[in-house]
Structure 1
């Protein structure tokens, strides 16, 4: 069953993907600094859609990076 999209769940998913990238693909992790991230911890207007979009972006980067490594 899919977990509901809440701030906590999306943040957890982002953390998991980021941790995977950091441990398995450090060269990609370095490039995440170049991934546009318009959100900050002080921003009160972060929406679920913003988090979903960021999660999708880093997942796609990981998938593309894995394909390119083969």
Structure 2
């Protein structure tokens, strides 16, 4: 997979994950605005590694939130 395809794939996955968080956990979605980013979306030289790290960060926040919700419900 070339860099453009990889970047596109990661961007789509970030979008998909963000939409999933928005639908399942709107309270977490609101907090994502407060999550400091290590890059700016206006930056032209966002690397594949930056996108991958951001995706992992989203997934980890979602899993942590799901776990804490599960703990509260029990």
Matched, 1:33 2:33: yes
User: Which 4+ residue blocks in structure 1 deviate beyond 2 angstroms?
Assistant: none
Gapped regions of structure 2 (runs ≥ 5): none
CA RMSD across the alignment: 1.7
Q: 1:58 matched to which residue of 2? A: 58
- How far does residue 61 in structure 1 lie from its aligned partner after superposition? 0.1
Decide which structure has greater helix share.
2
Counterparts in 2 of 1:1-70, with a 5 A limit? 6-37=6-37, 38-41=39-42, 43-70=43-70
TM-score (norm 1): 0.87
| Greater Rg over alpha carbons, structure | 2
- CA distance, structure 1, for counterparts of residue 24 and residue 64 of structure 2: 14
Gapped regions of structure 1 (runs ≥ 5): none
Aligned length: 67
